[in-house]
């Protein structure tokens, strides 16, 4: 029977990530849900067509009582979300411990202080146990939702064990795993004590994706060197079983930004900001307040620029918006104080009675504020020390069709591989180099700005979040068909 349905039925996509896209706060018997800021959420909000999506994850809150779990499940269910409930001890060992104290720094090439590293080493076994336990909880939640034919897409370093739990129960399930951070060189990865178990668990997935070809290559060499399996152009092969490994560079939903710029609320905000910063060029940084984002390094570069370019001192303002994250962790508290100290010093040194050179905010901006500030900015300064991709650079480009502003971008952000032709690439550790790039950006001719922006805009509007998800899921479907054909041969 060769009759095909006229329309392809919508495929169900179960997105599994550590955090749901919303944070929940309890208000008596009710729940207040708020959209959270972060790269994964931004990208997946752009994936709205072609799939019937359900999002499975932790709501970021401990709900020990049955009634609370029931009411939260109902509130989230109305938004297409399914909660995973984790107790405080698990969160501490799995999330704060193994995920954020071990994997996050390792994957971003951040050496922990010796003492912390020793402490982490001592508790590693119990943290890894909690990690596996938490991943099993996610797998139970997937099972409660799963229907035959669904695609299960696991996200990020929190859920490297999940493909194994899923496949153990149902080897026919279509399982993909995507990493949002860099995957480090195998020389770094192989210092992880439980390195083999984690790799083997990920390799049970049908398709493994990274932002860049380099990360995929690092992963394949970690597998070949540590597990002794074979690396092929397709991925990793072990005793005839191929796991496909490939690069799928993420994108944003550019239309959401372009359309927002036409709304009254954003337009009036743009006018307000223009009036406020009149007569000065505006430079912008938007980051989560995390060590990987290189905020202190970028402030030092700006300070150097002001030191060396007296004529610019009252002609430029640097707006740095830094959303606090993981505020209960000592390292992050120290980073916050360090940033405040540098901002204070620079404003003290170069401020006047009427103005200061840095406008620093420790908070998240509403979407319309973010669009407006992107639109009025002359130079965006993104100096991540390591970053899987960096979507702020994409969002900035999407909002710059009028102004054709300049993007200064770290060569250690995955985005450097896609926006490199239009951006000024810098080594964030080289403060003099970044300071010179600031000068180049502020004085760049209009024709060069236009040309650079054209490259970047073309990329951002063609490599969208929707295209990213479509490509990943369609490759996952194909991978499974190919594997079936191979077993028939
Ligand atoms: P993040 O490290 O969170 O993401 P990024 O990709 O830059 O980094 O995304 C940040 C998102 O949060 C953007 O959508 C931005 O608009 C929003 N945001 C940041 N600061 C904000 C503020 N002050 N107010 C409002 N919104 C703010 C992780 C990886 C990245 C990878 C993404 C997606 O670390 O490397 O690009 O996942 O895969």
Q: For residue range 24-40, what is the model confidence (pLDDT) as tens digits?
A: 898 888 899 988 766 67
Torsion angle of alpha carbons 129, 131, 132, 138, nearest 10°? 150
Check residue 487 and give its pLDDT: 64
| pLDDT value for 124 | 86
Phi and psi, residue 38, nearest 5°: 160, 155
Look at residue 331 and give its three-state secondary structure.
helix
Check residue 239 and give its pLDDT.
87
Q: How far is the CA of 387 from the centre of ligand 1 (A)?
A: 10
- pLDDT at position 3 is 47
List the structure tokens of 135.
Answer: 């991943």
pLDDT value at residue 113 = 62
Task: Sheet with 424-426: list strands edge to edge.
Answer: 358-361, 316-324, 281-289, 379-382, 406-410, 424-426
Beta bridge partners of 472: none
The protein residue with its alpha carbon nearest to ligand 1, atom 15, reads 392
Q: Is 391 in the pocket of ligand 1 (CB under 6 A)?
A: yes
The answer to whether the CB of 76 is under 6 A from ligand 1 is no
Q: Which residues contact 364 (CB under 8 A, 6 or more apart)?
A: 37, 321, 323
Query: Global pTM?
Result: 0.94
| Residues 338 and 105: beta-carbon distance below 8 Å | no
CA 225 and chain centroid, separation: 28
**For residue 238, what are the β-bridge partners?**
241
User: Among 109, 209, 391, which residue has the most ligand 1 atoms within 8 Å of its CB, making it the best to mutate?
Assistant: 391
233-258 tens-digit pLDDT: 999 999 888 999 999 999 999 999 99
The answer to whether 414 and 210 are in contact (CB under 8 A) is no
* Whether residue 392 has its Cβ less than 6 Å from ligand 1: yes
Q: Which residues of the chain have pLDDT under 50?
A: 1-6
Please name which of 126, 157, 121 lies closest in space to residue 18, comparing C-alpha atoms.
157
Determine the atom of ligand 1 nearest the C-alpha atom of 388.
35
Question: What pLDDT shows up at residue 478?
Answer: 87
The pLDDT, as a whole number, for residue 37 is 63
* pLDDT at 9 (0 to 100): 55
């Amino acid at each position: 029977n060769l009759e095909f349905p006229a329309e392809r039925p919508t495929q169900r996509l179960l997105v599994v990530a550590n955090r749901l896209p919303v944070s929940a706060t309890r208000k008596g018997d009710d729940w207040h849900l708020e959209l959270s800021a972060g790269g994964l959420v931004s990208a997946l909000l752009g994936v709205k067509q072609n799939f019937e999506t359900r999002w499975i994850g932790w709501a970021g809150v401990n709900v020990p009582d049955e009634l609370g779990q029931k009411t939260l499940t109902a509130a989230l269910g109305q938004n297409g979300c399914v909660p995973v409930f984790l107790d405080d001890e698990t969160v501490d060992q799995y999330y704060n411990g193994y995920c954020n104290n071990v994997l996050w720094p390792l994957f971003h090439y951040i050496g922990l202080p010796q003492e912390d590293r020793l402490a982490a080493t001592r508790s590693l076994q119990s943290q890894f146990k909690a990690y596996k336990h938490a991943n099993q909880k996610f797998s139970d939640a997937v099972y409660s939702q799963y229907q035959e034919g669904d695609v299960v897409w696991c996200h990020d370093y929190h859920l490297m064990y999940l493909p194994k739990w899923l496949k153990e129960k149902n080897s026919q399930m279509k399982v993909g795993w995507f990493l949002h951070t860099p995957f480090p060189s195998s020389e770094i990865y192989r210092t992880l004590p439980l390195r083999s178990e984690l790799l083997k668990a990920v390799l049970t997935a049908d398709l493994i994706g990274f932002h860049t070809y380099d990360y995929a290559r690092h992963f394949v060499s970690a597998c070949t060197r540590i597990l002794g399996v074979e690396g092929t152009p397709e991925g990793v092969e072990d005793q005839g079983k191929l796991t496909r490994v490939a690069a799928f560079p993420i994108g944003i939903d550019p239309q959401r930004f372009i359309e927002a710029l036409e709304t009254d609320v954003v337009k009036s905000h743009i006018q307000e900001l223009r009036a406020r910063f009149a007569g000065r060029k505006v430079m912008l940084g938007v980051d989560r307040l995390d060590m990987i984002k290189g905020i202190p390094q970028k402030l030092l570069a700006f300070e150097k620029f002001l030191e060396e370019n007296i004529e610019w001192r009252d002609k430029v303002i640097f707006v740095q918006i830094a959303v606090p994250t993981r505020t209960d962790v000592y390292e992050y508290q120290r980073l916050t104080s360090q940033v405040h100290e540098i901002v204070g010093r620079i404003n003290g040194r170069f401020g006047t009675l009427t103005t200061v050179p840095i406008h620093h905010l420790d908070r998240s901006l509403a979407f319309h504020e973010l669009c407006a500030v992107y639109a009025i900015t002359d130079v965006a300064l993104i100096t991540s020390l390591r970053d899987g991709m960096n979507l702020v650079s994409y969002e900035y480009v999407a909002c710059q069709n009028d102004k054709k502003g300049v993007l200064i971008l770290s060569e250690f952000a995955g985005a450097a591989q896609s926006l490199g032709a239009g951006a000024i690439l810098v080594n964030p550790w080289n403060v003099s180099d970044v300071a010179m790039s600031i000068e180049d950006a502020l004085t760049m001719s209009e024709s060069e700005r236009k040309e650079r922006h054209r490259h970047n805009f073309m990329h951002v509007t063609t490599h969208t979040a929707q295209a990213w998800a479509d490509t990943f899921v369609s490759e996952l479907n194909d991978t499974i068909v190919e594997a079936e054909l191979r077993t028939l041969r």
